[in-house]
Amino acid sequence: MVDAALEAVRKELREFPAAARELSVPLAVPYLDKPPTPLCFYRDWVCPNRPCIIRNALQHWPALQKWSLPYFRATVGSTEVSVAVTPDGYADAVRGDRFVMPAERRLPLSFVVDVLEERAQHPGVLYVQKQCSNLPTELAQLLPDLESHVPWASEALVHKDHYENLYCVVSGEKYFLLHPPTDRPFIPYELYTPATYQLTEEGTFKVVDEEAMEKVPWIPLDPLAPDLARYPSYSQAQALRCTVRAGEMLYLPALWFHHVQQSHGCIAVNFWYDMEYDFKYSYFQLLDSLTKASGLN
């Protein structure tokens, strides 16, 4: 009796993502030719939890014409910035039985630009980024080149309380692979020991465990080359792929799974807004809990 009930729950969970896709998940990420009004953005995209790419949203930013590697060298080249360093470009990633975070270095931005332009060398792959914003804290000289927020999004999301994300690409391209929250039954999670890359004096990387930290739940598969023998359920998930080009902005709704790559030397700005903990959040927590409890995880 119990086994039959459990299998019934599993069956419903397996069928749920397809029903949700048919009802509300687009086959491709839609494009908007201009920024929406705050009301339309909230009604058509935020409330349904649907992504979109907005064109012609950054045309008035001076950054779109000015920002380039030579401009950075001339304007903020002497500024030291936080740089994530990894052996392969994957930060915050699963490696074996470890969840490995990047090594962090403080380097002059001009040196990073030299490495990107192959005028200088440094072990590993360098990525200038900071989770809690490096523009106001490290590169304040660049702030006049863009808006401090996105007005129509701020008005729509001002009461939002997790993360709604606006990816604004100034130069180059970003490549996104997205899964809606409803694909959760097909997306595995495992617990990993947290660790950090350390760069040795010889220029090699070693992995050092973070003993004081709790284990980290993370998605173990590479969505670009998934191990379907180990995670067969992932074959039933259907990813959306999109490219965000210079001058475009991607609205990535809260709770969406995402894998991001970028072109060499890509320059982008993220705006983060807290999500609203409404019924969508509660339903996702229920879906997550049922997936774990039924053994589909």
What does the pLDDT look like over 98-154, one tens digit per residue?
999 999 999 999 999 999 999 999 999 999 987 667 888 899 999 999 998 999 999
Locate 23 and state its tokens. Answer: 């009802």
At 125 the three-state DSSP class reads strand
pLDDT for 286: 86
Beta bridge partners of 87: none
pTM over 0.85: yes
CA distance 150 to 157: 10
Q: Which CATH number fits domain 1-61+147-188+231-296: 3.30.67.10, 2.60.120.10, 2.60.40.10, 3.30.70.1140?
A: 2.60.120.10
142-150: long-range pairs with CB below 8 Å, 24+: 142/63, 142/67, 142/75, 142/76, 144/62, 145/61, 145/62, 145/63, 145/66, 145/67, 146/58, 146/61, 146/62, 146/63, 146/170, 146/269, 147/61, 149/271, 150/57, 150/249, 150/271
In the chain, CATH 2.60.120.10 covers: 1-61+147-188+231-296
The answer to whether 269 and 199 have CB atoms below 8 angstroms apart is no
